[in-house]
Amino acid sequence: MKIPNSLLEKSDKGTPKAIILFIGETKAFNLLFRQTHSTLILLSEVVKMMKFNAILALIFSSVSMASDFSCPDGKTYPVSLTFDDGPAGAKTLKALDILKKNDVKGTFFVLGENFDSEEKRKANYPILERMKREGHTIGSHTFNHIPHTAVSTERAFSNIDRATELLKGYMAPIVRLPYGDGSFATSKPEKKLASEKVMKHIKEKGLTHVGWSIDTNDWDVKKRPFVLESMMKQICQQHGGVILFHDIHQNTIDHLEGWISELKKAGHRIEPLNYFYKNLDSNVVSKKEDFMGYCQSNQNKSMPIDNLSKKINEICNKIK
């Protein structure tokens, strides 16, 4: 290789220019290398950071997806939503909008007294039509909202029958007594006798009494701030069940969508009533009280000791 003469020329300090150039280029290369190296290090740090951030984002999103109300045993349970005391005009219609939007089928136990005048029938039968059309179940909550064991047998029977008559063509053959009064086990002899009579009458009329196992107390102004916590706790303790709401209270309607969202976030499945009452669909029900679905989902669980749980336990033991 022929080195150009200009490169062999000496610099002012006597060093050939080619060497100066070489040293300069090496320095430049070293600098470039160092810069590239540090750039690479920087890049790898950025990638690490990005990975870390991605992990953080993942953790954050899973934390934000995780429910505050997940059951301590890590399990999820079936529940069914029931609404008593309506129809209540705009409130019930709003509840139906929310159920439709969230693809949830509920059960409405309606009062016969809401159909005892032409005006009420005109307002309320279309609501029942919509419930049926949208796949909900309608049940009787009897005519007047009275405690059936505290009135005469005649009054109790006619209060049940009058509602059944007015709800014909709409209701499934199911009834929920107001306050559940008449359906609970009791040791008081008079109340026990009255309860037996009422339950026998319901059975003779081809109806099934449908209770509830998760009481939200949404009607109680003092307990309203705790509806969500209480409901979620009971679901975990009782391994799911039939939830009681009231569509006549604005507070319930205002929070319903949020509660449904929390139920779903905790992984619970919102099932129609026939999940718990196996042979019940919107218009057909077994004449025998059937807790099969509920009992199957509650195998080996330890139940809290209260009257309702005891009653459900008894039924589950009977049908085993």
The structure tokens listed for 238 are: 């009782």
Half-sphere exposure of 263 (CA within 13 A, CB side): 26
Query: How would DSSP label each residue in 169-198?
Result: TT--SEE--GGGTTTS--S-HHHHHHHHHH
Give whichever of 210 and 266 is closer to Zn ion, judged by the CB atom: 210
Interface positions, 142-161, toward Zn ion (CB under 5 A): none
Shortest distance, CB of residue 141 to Zn ion, whole angstroms? 6
Shortest distance, CB of residue 271 to Zn ion, whole angstroms? 22
101: buried, middle or exposed (CB in 10 Å: 19+, 13-18, 0-12)? exposed
> Active-site residue among 136, 246, 249, 268?
246
Interface positions, 84-143, toward Zn ion (CB under 5 A): 84-85
Shortest distance, CB of residue 84 to Zn ion, whole angstroms? 4
Shortest distance, CB of residue 52 to Zn ion, whole angstroms? 55
Task: Return the SS3 of 34.
Answer: helix
Residue in the shown chain whose Cβ atom is closest to Zn ion: 84
Cross-strand pairs, 270: 79
Give whichever of 142 and 274 is closer to Zn ion, judged by the CB atom: 142
Asked about 181 being catalytic, the answer comes back as no
Q: Which is it for strands 269-270 and 241-246: parallel, antiparallel or unpaired?
A: unpaired
144: buried, middle or exposed (CB in 10 Å: 19+, 13-18, 0-12)? middle
Query: How would DSSP label each residue in 282-304?
Result: SS---SS---HHHHHHTTTPPPP
Sequence-distant (≥ 6) Cβ neighbours of residue 157 within 8 angstroms = 198, 201
Cα-Cα-Cα-Cα dihedral of 72, 73, 74, 78, to 10°? -100
Cross-strand pairs, 78: 269
Give whichever of 178 and 293 is closer to Zn ion, judged by the CB atom: 178
Interface positions, 33-92, toward Zn ion (CB under 5 A): 84-85
Give whichever of 84 and 247 is closer to Zn ion, judged by the CB atom: 84
Shortest distance, CB of residue 189 to Zn ion, whole angstroms? 26
Shortest distance, CB of residue 178 to Zn ion, whole angstroms? 5
> Active-site residue among 84, 215, 247, 290?
84
Give whichever of 85 and 262 is closer to Zn ion, judged by the CB atom: 85
Number of residues that bind Zn ion (CB under 5 A): 3
Cβ neighbour number for residue 307 with a 10 Å cutoff: 11
Asked about 84 being catalytic, the answer comes back as yes
Interface positions, 161-220, toward Zn ion (CB under 5 A): 178
DSSP letter assigned to residue 114 = G
Residues forming the site for Zn ion (CB under 5 A): 84-85, 178
Residues with catalytic annotation?
A: 84, 246
